[in-house]
Amino acid sequence: MKPVALLDGGLGQEIYRRAMNVTSLLWSVAVMREQPEVVTDVHADFIRAGARTLTLNTYAATPTRLAREGLGDEIGAIHQRAFEVLERAIALAGAEVDIAGCLPPLVGSYREQPARTFEDLKSEFDVLVKLQGGADVFLIETMTNSLEASAACAAASESGKPFGVAFRLEADGKLRSGETLAEAVEAVKASGPTAIMLNCCDPEVISLAMPELAGLFPCTGGYANAFKTVEPMAGGALVDELEARPDVSPGLYALQVKQWLEDGAAVVGGCCEITPEHISHLADVLTDEYRLIKFSELARR
């Protein structure tokens, strides 16, 4: 059977939804500081659902974002807490899974290319790679421009660990920077990613783009969101203002994911608003046709 790496789902959004009375630009990181047990429970639910690779809850914990909120001095403690809550969940679930370090956009999601140099961006990603040195793999997520993606890939590649990079496409099939998918792939492939993926797009956008992506790189994947629109957050609003699409049920999502696999994907999972229920259903429907593996096992093929 074809091996498929199964990631978790929309970690940050699931944490935020379960938290009590937390509203913050730091999103699920703010929850982790105040209610760490919520984060452990979400991780554990994704593991029980069948995810083989679990991402650290550090998406909003970049040096830039923490400094902006006056928490720059706590960056080490926040990353340590992220490991602690995930390791506790792994112990509770009794499963053997990958811990994935998270290398996100440094300023915020859904932005255009930052007015920074490659060297400046890479130095900040270097900090994150060092802080997450205990991870088994790295996932570079929600990239909207090739400059930031290239800097993240350079930092991840120096860790010597498997890593994947995922771009977000707009409805027109291009990155928010205006670059094409082919241009984005060309910019990062020399750094040696294990997989090049698409994430945090509408499922339909990934379905349209996956055949092209599979022709551009040997190991590909996708994990979509289920937001109605991300534009409020792109403009700097809180995640509170985003709404979920009621039509993206576990069954419908699994149909989209199976199409990506038929078109060549080898890594799947979910992004914002894709719940443990979605991942559980996905694991169930894929088990008969695919061998579900950890992301790190792709690098050994």
Question: Which residue numbers belong to the known binding site for Zn(2+)?
Answer: 200, 271-272
Q: Closest by alpha carbon to 49, among 13, 84, 19, 10?
A: 10
Backbone angles phi, psi at 298, to 5 degrees: -65, -35
**Binding residue numbers:** 200, 271-272
Write the CB contacts of 162 (distance below 8 Å, at least 6 apart in sequence): 136, 137, 138, 194, 295, 296, 298, 299
Residue 48 backbone zone (phi > 0: left; psi -120 to 50: alpha; other: beta): alpha
- In the 8-state DSSP scheme, what is residue 191? G
CA-CA-CA-CA torsion sign (219, 225, 229, 234): negative
Q: Closest by alpha carbon to 93, among 276, 254, 282?
A: 276
Residue 262 amino acid letter: E
Backbone angles phi, psi at 198, to 5 degrees: -125, 135
Helix axes 36-49, 75-93, angle to 10 degrees: 40
